[in-house]
Structure formats: structure tokens, C-alpha cells
Structure 1
Amino acid sequence: MKTSKTIAAVALSMLAVAGVVHAEGYEPVQPLKAATSRTEVASEAAAAARDGNVYGDVIEAPPVSRPSSRDRASVRAEAVATAHAPNQNLDRRAFANSEVPPQFRTARP
């Protein structure tokens, strides 16, 4: 019994040592070494701002709305009629076997 416990203790200590060996060390923050001066960076920033967004694919063309063939009054009348329809919020899943009863099958305006 003692030898098995000793062997287990030795194996666990070897695993612990192996874990410590593979642990990463802490590297402090490295000092910044600037390759360009502030004036060069400022001039590059100004040039990039003048060029605009070169990676954008939809910036060049603003969104355009298509003209409608219907007038405002007819669209409003249709919206009011639909809002007042008795079967406006009708959902076929609310009925048995997802079948809408005949009394609710009136055509929408």
C-alpha cells in the first residue's frame, strides 16, 4: 500500500514540475519605437481624409427612392381599409388543423 501511494505521489510531482516548465513567462510592455515623425503622420492623415473611404463600396452612390405610380390618397385609403378589416390579425395557426373557418375567409380589400 505504501509503495503505490509513493509512486502516485512521485507521478503527481513529476506532472506538476512538467507544468511549471511549460508555463509562459511574463514579458513586460516593450517601449514604443516610432518610425515616423508626428508631422509625417499628420500629413498622411490629412491625405487619407481628403481621399475619403477607399474601402467603402456604396459610399459613391447615395440611396435613391423609386417613384411610385400610385398617388398618396389611394395608398392611404388602402391602408385605412386594411387596418379596419375584421380579419386583419387572422393567423391560420390559431385554428384546428391550421384551417381557417369559412366565416373568416372574406377577401381582404
Structure 2
Amino acid sequence: MSRDMRIGINLRGDLARASLDRLDHELDALFIERKIVLDSISNLTSVGNKYLYQIGMGMPFGRGLFHARLIYKMSATLYGGSYKKGLGRLYMIDCEIKDILDECRRRMKAA
């Protein structure tokens, strides 16, 4: 499977309608927030493990079959205890980043 192919059903129509400037702004903000959240998490948290998450073992199914914020929130809550803080928030940020990068790849391929 090539690197630009992904498994899943994209339900992120909001990104398809967004301008390139908006995508760029959101991506920059997400990378800044990701660093802040990652630095705030200790290696052993009450729910989940930062090290396991970083090596890809914490969320073995990644974004899952359906790529949508609601699905990410449910997964983040189940895994990280909350989608607003800690590992759950880090998971949400990573999913958002991947979705934006997928949208950028889609646009480049269509051009």
C-alpha cells in the first residue's frame, strides 16, 4: 500500500470546504498545541502511557475506520479518559493533523 493511501471513510467535509489559508493556520496552531500538550504529560499518567502512545502501541487502531471528530472524541475518552486534556487531547490533535495533511495531499493529487 502506498504511503498516501489510507484506510478509512473520510467524514471531514469541513476540511474539503476550508481555504488553504485556513488549513495552514489550523495546522500551525495544532503543532504548537501538540508540543504544549506533549510536554505537559508525564510518562506514566493515570490513564494510558505516554511512551506507548509515542511508539504507536497506545492506539493500535489509529484513527479508525471513520475519520470524524465525533469518533475521535469517543476514542480519546475511552483511551485517555478525556478528549480535552492529557493523552486523549494529544490523540485528538494527532488525528486533526493527519486529517489536514490528508486533505492537502488530496488537493495536490487533484491539481
Return the index of the structure with the highest Cα Rg.
1
Same fold (TM > 0.5): no
Looking at secondary structure, tell me which structure has more helix per residue.
2
Q: TM-score, normalised by structure 1?
A: 0.24
